[in-house]
Amino acid sequence: MNVHDLEDLGGGTLTGLLARRARQAPDNPALLFEGREYSYAELNREADRLGSALMAQGLGKGDVLGVFLGNRPEYLFTTLGSSRAGLVNVSINNAYKGEFLHYALEHSGVQILITDSRLAQAVAQLDELPPTLRTLVYLGDEAPGIDAPGLRVLSWAELLAGASDAPQFPRVEYHDIGAISFTSGTTGKSKGVVAPHLQGVIMARETAQAFGLTPRDRLYTCMPLFHGMAQVTTCAAAIYAGACIILSPRFSVSNLWNEVREARATQFNALGSMLHMLLSTSPSPRDREHDVQLVFAAPAPAEVLYRFEARFGVHVLEGYGQTEIKNVLYNPRQGRKVGSLGKPTASSILEIHDEQGNRLAPGQVGEIVYRPRLPHIMLSHYHRNPTATLEKMAGLWWHTGDLGSMDEDGFFYFHDRKSDSLRRRGENISSMELERALAAFPGVVDAAAIGVRSDLGEDEVMVVVEHHAPQALDFSALFQHCVRQLPRFMVPRYYRVVQVLPRTPTGKVLKVPLREAGLTADTWDHVAVGLTVPR
């Protein structure tokens, strides 16, 4: 990195960018949440206060902090403040519970967990806490009933009481580790993606450039902050540009446009399924009464994109990325090709390779592979999993596991997933983890999780179970088992039972014939019988 680049990037850290914006335009709006607006100077002070308070707890550079919260300002205060203190951030999916939550805490080595009174109940219900977890901080009036040896439980106010008026923060470099994020796969448990600070900052700049952001923009997000779509594509990009973040607690089909109008948002991001849902509402004379100019959506099928743009009068921009490599493709605002993932960002090299690692010609379908043009802008490694890191970097290219093609003009197109992972509502789901939970149900011999297309344009989860006595299987009981054992987004919609699953000669379950069969006449649907997954 050269000196000029580092100056533009706030030294290569997000808190450096924030401090730079606070100096340049201290009174400009930085964050709006439920009517409360924070200026850049205020947001910077909150980061200082939180970082100082964490250091007062004896935490130092390289220590690990977990964030287990819903969307609220304190989430940003925590991630920004802990980064300023040199801590490693672990954003934990707030749907996690049981084994999933324990694994995220244990595998990443979380030492202090920031949560709230409600979500802390999931921590309280764990059979045991990881030995590294020494402090739990909760927001809310009600202290969680957690009695674990060696665990300190503090309120948010008690944590902040230790903050210094003149904190001395450690020097945090752009190449230092800034975060561990969890991503799903099929060859084992969810993997912890260890990322340097510069990865998020470069993505913030490239996103701001792709979106054409200026300090006058107001970026709305209702996506959960543990997700990169909200944390980086919205929040980090807004801070880079000096724009305002508009944070909503959750997605509401009926209220999104009202929130967007009231906050005077100029842009927002969405999953492709959210576009479907918004289009399913009744047309209104107010459909174009807003300030939104651009919506970033992934994926956005062509016919949905055209309908959404025509009805709401916005430009829908598409892109492509992975937790490990950031967003690496954006469809340009000018000269776009609808249906394409777009062209590589300035820091990215992408090619299409065959199984032998040979580059394929335009139009040929192969695996999408990636290389960075700069150091420290992709994952450093998978946490405690060197084998998986080496496998994904075979031939010194990052193997995305996605099949695609490139045209003569350098636009990339997605075709299918090579891996056996599922994607639902923007969340990657590990088939292995889901199948293991199903196998714990009485009578189930084995299970296969597959994706079937939904009317929202993404995968719905279907499971086919091999059972000792297929006729005796109680689908409602199996569904309730999944509700108890799995995060909400992983609970399958469709269930089918068979005497024997199809297998290879070596005993591996064959999923191709199951996918080809899809939804059969004997498939059970929890939605059709009126059962819902509780929030």
β-sheet bridge partners, residue 113: 66, 136
pLDDT, residue 7, reads 84
In this structure, of 58-62, 353-357, 390-394, 514-518, the range with the lowest mean pLDDT score is 514-518
d(C-alpha 143, C-alpha 118), whole Å: 10
Segments in 131-196 forming alpha helices (H): 156-160
State how far the Cα of 155 lies from the Cα of 157, in Å rounded to an integer. 5
Does residue 459 or residue 307 have the better pLDDT? 307
Residue with the larger pLDDT of the pair 299 and 178:
178
Q: Give the residue among 269, 202, 270 at the shortest CA–CA distance from 240.
A: 202
pLDDT band (50, 70, 90) for residue 353: very high
Q: For the residues 18-24, what does the mean pLDDT come to?
A: 98
Quote the CA–CA distance of 51 and 46 in Å, as a whole number: 8
Instruction: Kindly report the backbone phi and psi dihedral angles of residue 295, in degrees, each rounded to the nearest multiple of 5, phi listed first.
Output: -125, 125
Please check whether the two domains, 199-417 and 422-525, share a CATH topology.
no
Q: Angle CA(33)–CA(43)–CA(27) in degrees, nearest 5? A: 95
Q: Please state the CATH superfamily assignment of the domain spanning residues 199-417 in this structure.
A: ANL, N-terminal domain (3.40.50.12780)
Q: Which CATH number fits domain 422-525: 3.40.50.300, 3.10.20.30, 3.40.50.720, 3.30.300.30?
A: 3.30.300.30
Mean of pLDDT values over 158-164: 98
Report, as an integer, the average pLDDT of 143-162: 95
* pLDDT value of residue 4: 62
Question: In the predicted model, what is the mean pLDDT of residues 7-19?
Answer: 95
pLDDT band at 462 (very low <50, low <70, confident <90, very high): very high
Q: For residues 158-179, give the mean pLDDT.
A: 97
How confident is the model over 404-423, as pLDDT tens digits? 999 999 999 988 777 676 87
pLDDT at 200 over 50: yes
Q: What integer is the mean pLDDT of 153-167?
A: 97
Is it the case that residue 288 has pLDDT exceeding 60? yes
Strands (E), 71-225: 88-91, 112-116, 135-139, 152-155, 177-183, 191-196, 218-221
> How confident is residue 457, by pLDDT bands cut at 50, 70 and 90?
low
pLDDT per residue as tens digits for the range 485-531: 999 999 999 999 999 999 855 566 888 899 989 999 999 999 999 99
- Higher local confidence (pLDDT), 224 or 189: 224
Break the chain into its structural domains and give their ranges: 3-25+36-195, 199-417, 422-525
Determine which helix (DSSP H) or strand (DSSP E) holds 450, and give its type and residue range.
strand 444-453
User: How many Å apart are CA 112 and CA 57, to the nearest integer?
Assistant: 10
CA distance 2 to 184: 35
- Residue closest to 277 by CA, chosen among 307, 319, 247: 307
The fraction of the chain above a pLDDT of 90, given in percent, is 83
pLDDT at 450: 94
What φ, ψ does residue 100 adopt, rounded to 5°? Answer: -65, -45
Q: Quote the pLDDT of residue 187.
A: 46
Would you say 64 and 88 are in contact if contact means Cβ atoms under 8 Å apart?
yes
Mean pLDDT across 252-275: 94
User: What pLDDT is recorded for position 512?
Assistant: 82
pLDDT reported for residue 456: 66
Q: How confident is the model at residue 271 (pLDDT cuts 50, 70, 90)?
A: confident
Angle subtended by helix axes 197-211 and 14-24, to nearest 10: 50
* pTM summary value: 0.87
Contact 110, 89 (CB under 8 A): no
Give the range among 70-74, 217-221, 433-437 with minimum mean pLDDT. Answer: 433-437
Contacts of 197 (CB under 8 A, 6+ apart): 12, 13, 14, 83, 172, 173, 174, 175, 176, 177, 178
Among residues 85, 69, 91, 82, which one has the least CA distance to residue 193? 91
pLDDT value for 437: 92
- pLDDT value at 1 more than 90: no
DSSP assignment of 383-427, as one string? Answer: TT-HHHHHHHTGGGSEEEEEEEEE-TTS-EEEEEESSS-EEETTE
Whether 430 and 186 have beta carbons less than 8 Å apart is answered as yes
What pLDDT, on a 0 to 100 scale, did the predictor assign at position 300? Answer: 78
Task: Indicate the CATH number of 3-25+36-195 among 3.90.1170.40, 3.40.50.980, 3.40.50.2300, 2.40.50.140.
Answer: 3.40.50.980
Burial class (CB in 10 A: 0-12, 13-18, 19+), 259: middle
Task: State the average pLDDT for the chain.
Answer: 94
Residue 192 corresponds to which amino acid?
G
What's the mean pLDDT in 97-111?
96
Structure tokens at 427: 């969340």
User: Residue for token digits 């402090």?
Assistant: 135
Q: What is the crossing angle of helices 302-312 and 272-279, to 10°? A: 50
CA dist., res. 132 & res. 151, Å (int): 10
